[in-house]
Copies of this chain bind each other. A is one copy, B any other.
Amino acid sequence: MKKLSIIGTVAYDSIKSPHGERERILGGSASFSSIAASLFNESHIVSIVGQDFESKYLDFFNERGINTTGIEIADGNTFHWSGYYEKDMAEAFTLQTDLNVLLAFNPVVPEHCKDSGIVFCANIDPVLQKQAIEQFQNPELVILDTMNFWIEHSKDALLEVLKLVDILIVNDGEARQLTGESNIVNALDALIQLGPKRVIVKKGEHGSIMYDGISHFTCPALPIRNLIDPTGAGDSFAGAFAGYLSSSNSRTEQDFRKAVAFGSIVSAHTVQGFSFDALNKLTLPAVHEQLLAIHNLSSI
């Protein structure tokens, strides 16, 4: 068992999908990843919210074993993202991004988190990711996510922080954008050259692929008929991955594969509801049962 810290956003989302519309529901990368991780282990969030952030959500985190003392409550409003998905829900279209308190985010890792064994840096400015990582005392595993915006606008800072990263988790579009390689196998080779010892590329309905510079692991996605809202899929994948690894001290190839499978399972649940509606109903026994389903999906 390792202490797990998660740096990222806690946000309000307003979302339109072909399945409905929701105003100011709980979102944010640290929210999704910590709730996903909470199936396996306690965690500590390092984030920032505004005066408008409802205390019921802090209670929600705390009830799931998530320590929120690292969430700064600042003057101003909470980060608010508003967007929509079209029929195929392959892409999130942004209507409005109100960064609000996020503009002044300067991650301060609480003293009691500095000895974390596992650090997950969810998607924020790579300059802040580096600043956060450097506050930890020799973590065993630093796991990092990013997005197309930083690859386009802050590539140097991103390449800088990647040197401090053990495991990079990105989606296929980001892997291609960051490396300039259209072939995902070649993109994985190129990503490993940037510093991470292990790379996981998420491919939505096509599952995911993990590479450690030697061997590849392909994990299928659970077949989903009822995709409601893809928001948080990637964050809950990474959260479950980090949460599972933090719940165990074993680091065999099989452990990493199980962690990816748990990521795949948990994210498949997240997208079957808005916000935390579906994820919140998921239990650890159900997750373990789905591990068998993942196995059966690809067994020959």
Residues of A within 8 A of B (CB): 87-90, 182-186, 189, 203, 205-207, 209, 215-221, 223-225, 227, 254, 257-258, 261, 291, 294-300
Closest Cβ neighbor of A176 among chain B residues = B88
Chain B residue contacts of A88, Cβ below 8 A: 182-183
- Whole-angstrom distance between the alpha carbons of A88 and B224 in the complex? 28
Chain B residue contacts of A217, Cβ below 8 A: 297-298
Copies of this chain, complex-wide, total 2
Q: In the complex, what's the smallest C-beta–C-beta distance from A211 to chain B, in angstroms?
A: 8
* 25 A-B pairs with C-beta separation under 8 A: A88-B182, A88-B183, A89-B182, A183-B225, A183-B227, A184-B205, A185-B205, A185-B223, A185-B224, A186-B225, A189-B225, A203-B206, A206-B206, A215-B296, A218-B221, A218-B298, A219-B300, A220-B298, A254-B300, A257-B299, A258-B300, A261-B300, A291-B300, A294-B300, A298-B298
**Do A218 and B254 touch (CB < 8 A)?**
no
**Do A182 and B298 touch (CB < 8 A)?**
no
- Choose among B186, B189, B218, B291 the residue that contacts A220 (Cβ–Cβ < 8 A): B218
- Whole-angstrom distance between the alpha carbons of A221 and B220 in the complex? 11
Q: In the complex, what's the smallest C-beta–C-beta distance from A108 to chain B, in angstroms?
A: 38
Closest Cβ neighbor of A292 among chain B residues = B300
Ranked 9 nearest A-B pairs via Cβ:
A88-B182, A206-B206, A218-B220, A298-B298, A185-B223, A257-B300, A216-B223, A218-B297, A218-B298
- Whole-angstrom distance between the alpha carbons of A223 and B183 in the complex? 10
Chain B residue contacts of A183, Cβ below 8 A: 88, 205, 224-225, 227
Q: In the complex, what's the smallest C-beta–C-beta distance from A19 to chain B, in angstroms?
A: 12
Q: In the complex, what's the smallest C-beta–C-beta distance from A216 to chain B, in angstroms?
A: 5
Q: In the complex, what's the smallest C-beta–C-beta distance from A18 to chain B, in angstroms?
A: 10
Residue from A89, A203, A205 having most chain B Cβ neighbours under 10 A:
A205
Residue from A216, A218, A298 having most chain B Cβ neighbours under 10 A:
A298
Chain B residue contacts of A224, Cβ below 8 A: 183, 185
- Whole-angstrom distance between the alpha carbons of A88 and B88 in the complex? 23
- Choose among B258, B297, B300 the residue that contacts A216 (Cβ–Cβ < 8 A): B297
- Whole-angstrom distance between the alpha carbons of A219 and B206 in the complex? 10
**Do A218 and B207 touch (CB < 8 A)?**
yes
Q: In the complex, what's the smallest C-beta–C-beta distance from A254 to chain B, in angstroms?
A: 7
- Whole-angstrom distance between the alpha carbons of A207 and B218 in the complex? 10
- Whole-angstrom distance between the alpha carbons of A299 and B254 in the complex? 9
Q: In the complex, what's the smallest C-beta–C-beta distance from A288 to chain B, in angstroms?
A: 12
Chain B residue contacts of A185, Cβ below 8 A: 205, 223-225
Residue from A185, A203, A257, A261 having most chain B Cβ neighbours under 10 A:
A185
Closest Cβ neighbor of A223 among chain B residues = B185
Q: In the complex, what's the smallest C-beta–C-beta distance from A292 to chain B, in angstroms?
A: 10
Q: In the complex, what's the smallest C-beta–C-beta distance from A257 to chain B, in angstroms?
A: 5
Q: In the complex, what's the smallest C-beta–C-beta distance from A223 to chain B, in angstroms?
A: 4
